[in-house]
Amino acid sequence: MRILLTGADGQLGRCFSDRAGESVEILATDRKQLDITDLQAVEKIIESFKPDAIVNAAAYTAVDKAESDYDTAYAINCQAVKNLAGEAIKLNIPFIHVSTDYVFNGESEIAYSESDICDPKSVYGTTKRAGELEALQSPKGIVIRTSWVFSEYGNNFVKTMLRLGAQRDALSIVGDQYGCPTYAGDLAQAILNILAASDFKPGIYHYSGDESVSWYQFAQEIFITAKASGLYPRIPALSSITTEEYPTPAARPRYSVMNTNKLNAVGIAPGKWKKQLEVIIPKILNEVSV
């Protein structure tokens, strides 16, 4: 299988390349190799590579910056998706587009299902929802919503906590926003499993880690794991604060736990994120001095 991968330099993109086996040929592109907002550039690379599937792991993810940079966020999160979906339609090939829990308003008290009404409260969420609709124009379009992605690559909450924890005696973490951490490697494997199933139905699916926590609880698990590794110098004192005590330009969903039963039913189970923390934190600490 020949796969055109966008966002190859991001967390998901790098994990996807790591997980792909010898039976998969990947053309891994990032912004330097392919501007996905440029339709002519997309057409040219598609014509040259002739992929059997397209995986769009690229996104404008600077959630707060997007509030004052709508045009760029829209170009990457929506217009680029339209470009890629259009090419997938021409070739009649699967198009997998990765989306986010930010398409919901976060006011639910139960896990969101794929059919729940979208009501994004930020530019990031709004542009990502617009991108979903473009992806679903493809008869073989698959949208995978995920949340709280972390890995040994790039910038993420795990790395931020380890860095700040080594610098400060105490940290205040938001404790009233809940979601499911997701290891990018598990998400990458889920996508590969979907592509390997020739009869996979198009539509929207939710994929995340297996246990919901607050950011405060997530931070606790990170430091517990770091301490157990024997590689971390000390554990900072943690305190839980409210969303109001940590204002941000973009609104965050208070509750963005997603129901993953639809994927579970076809044999793709949620990732065990605590186990993955045990794997990646030593990697991070061995590579970076904290």
Question: Which amino acids are annotated catalytic?
Answer: 124
**What angle, 0 to 180 degrees and rounded to 10, lies between the N-to-C axes of helices 80-91 and 39-49?**
30
Q: Which residues pair with 172 in a beta bridge?
A: 239
Answer yes or no: are the C-beta atoms of 207 and 189 closer than 8 Å.
Answer: no
User: DSSP state, 231?
Assistant: -
Distance of CA 125 to the CA centre of its chain: 13
Q: Where are the alpha helices (DSSP H) in 60-214?
A: 70-74, 80-91, 123-135, 157-167, 184-196
**Which amino acid does the sequence have at 115?**
S
Distance from C-alpha of 142 to C-alpha of 139, rounded to nearest angstrom = 9
* CB count in 10 Å sphere of residue 239: 11
Answer yes or no: are the C-beta atoms of 181 and 253 closer than 8 Å.
Answer: no
